Structure formats: structure tokens, C-alpha cells
Amino acid sequence: MSKKFEIFPCGGIGDTMIITPSVKALKETHPDHKIIVYYKQNGQKDVFLNNPNVDSLRDFRKMSFWRYYYRLSSFFIRKKTDPFVVLFQHIPPSWIYKVHVIDIVAEIFKVKLKSRKIELFFTKDEENRAKQALKPFKNTVIMHIHSKSSQNHHWELENWEELIKQLPDYTFIQLGLKTEPEVKGALDWRGKTLFREALCLLKYADSFVGVDSNMAHATNAFDMPGVVLFGDSSPVHWGKPNNINIYKEVECSPCYYELWHERCPYGHECMKLITVEDVKKALIQQMNRRLKEKNKLIL
């Protein structure tokens, strides 16, 4: 067998982040194998950039397809190598699994995970820029209130605004795309950063608050104590231990794989039951934890 693994991540950016602990385990188990990752969108590339466990990161879009034609035919037609098509949601996790999606991916890779932590790597330059950008602010909380995968992930805009009003000592920085709704009272950095820059800002902020999105997954890479709101998806599959995952467990949830992009027909109770007070309490708790960690580092 050829000494290489060729990996095809499927799904969005968050799904790609979920793969990183397994890629690390794969490299540790087979240090003599070359790991090649094919990406189909820039977001997937951004996740794997500078990852020391990946030997080659290749563009798999139509425009670049011809470059790897021979290589691809070698495993699709001649079946010479072992590709990993990481389609870990071919059976939705909420249907039969009681484990986290990170463990489901590890099963595809046939590896045992020593660490279940997501991995993201930045250059010195990226890190310096993020530190400089956050320097003027105190008690920084990155906000990401939008998820492309489902409208049922969202919490009412008025709730976010009320949360900001009730915590005037914190600097809320809203990240995301310019097309996402603006939260009044937060620093509006939507559309002002590249995706990797946004991730690096997250690394050097004090906390995170948001919905189940790629940024929520990224907090895990930095052990950031954040707060994540779950409604139509379950923290059993998608939550991270570094965060306080607020989930009301209404009977119809998780419904993400059933409703997909459609709006909840029941009135979105799972997210409406989450109060501003719930989120505020959790965020204060996480900020205090962060401050304690910072003080420990100084001592």
C-alpha cells in the first residue's frame, strides 16, 4: 500500500475543524505516511493552513482538478491508495449516536484519540496583528450570532442587544459576514476581517458568546471559556467542554437533520426558552474563569 493518506473533508468549515484531532492522531499512528488534504472551499483550506500534521494541502475545485487527475484516478479507478472521504454525517449523529462528532470522525479514520481538541495554527504575523487589534479593549467578548447551516440556530436579535446592555463592562465584538444581522451596542467588525484573522482574534479575546457555529467550534482550539446557545442541535454531538453549552432539551430537539434549512413550525421554543439572564450568568462565570487563568499565568 502506498504510504500516504488522502483526505477529502465534506461539509462546512465547522465540520472541517472537527476532523483536525483525527488528522493529528492519524499522523501519530502512522508517522511514516504522508497526509494529503484536498479542499473544496477556502474555509476548509484556512482550517488546515500551517497544520504540521498535513504534508500537502491541495485545491480540489474544478479549476484545479486537472492537476491531480492522475492521482485521483489512481485511487478511484485503480484503488491503489486509501482515501478518507470524511462524510461523517451520512447518518445524522442525532439519529443513533450518543457520542461527540469528533469521536465519530475518529471511527472513520480508525484511530484512537489522545486529544479531542480542535487544532488551528497561525503564523507569528497573524498572531501579532490579532493582539494589536484587541490591545485597546478590555474584557473582550467575541460574538458570533449567525449560522449558515440553519436559521433555527439563531437567538432573537433583541436578546443579544439586551445582553450587551446588561453587561456594560464587557467589550462585545461582533464577527461574521457583513450580510449577517448587526447587533447594536457591539463593535461591528463584521466583514472587516478574513476568516483566519477572525479565528486569531478569537484566540486572543477573553471569551466568546454565540450560537452553534464554526466560531463556537474554534473556541475549543484555544481552550477559551465561552458560552454557546443550542436549540435545534444537541451539545452531546456538537458541544465543547471548554464552553458552557446552554440547551433547554425541548422534546422535539434535536431537529436539525429533520428540518434542515426550514423554519421551525412550532414557534422555535428551544431557543425562545433561553433567557438573557441564562446567558448573562454563564458569560460572567466564564469571564471570571478566564480572569483567574490569566492571573495564574502572571503569578
Partner 1 sequence: MKLKEEVIEKIIFVEKKIEIIDAAISKELTKSFFMRSKSVCRFLYIEKKIYTRLHKELKWILNE
| Residues at the site binding partner 1, with contacts judged by CB under 8 A | 90-91, 94-97, 107-108, 251
Choose between 169 and 251: whose C-beta lies nearer to partner 1.
251
Q: How far is the CB of 44 from partner 1 (least distance, A)?
A: 21
Min dist CB 94 to partner 1, Å, is 8
Quick one: 94 or 243, whose CB is closer to partner 1? 94
Q: Torsion-angle region of residue 204: left (phi > 0), alpha (psi -120 to 50) or beta?
A: alpha
The three three-digit cell numbers of residue 115, written as one number: 486529544
Query: One-letter amino acid identity for 296?
Result: K
DSSP-derived secondary structure letter, 266: T
Nearer to partner 1, 150 or 253 (CB): 253
Strand (E) or helix (H) holding 259: helix 256-259
Closest approach of Cβ 97 to partner 1, in Å? Answer: 8
Report how far residue 81's alpha carbon sits from residue 98's, in angstroms, rounded to the nearest whole number.
Answer: 32
Distance CA 99, CA 95 (A): 11
Rounded least distance, CB 211 to partner 1, Å:
24
Q: Which is nearer to partner 1, 75 or 97 (CB)?
A: 97
- How far out from the chain centre does Cα 98 lie? 20
User: What is the closest distance, in whole angstroms, from the C-beta atom of residue 258 to partner 1 in the complex?
Assistant: 9
269 vs 278 by CB, closer to partner 1 = 269
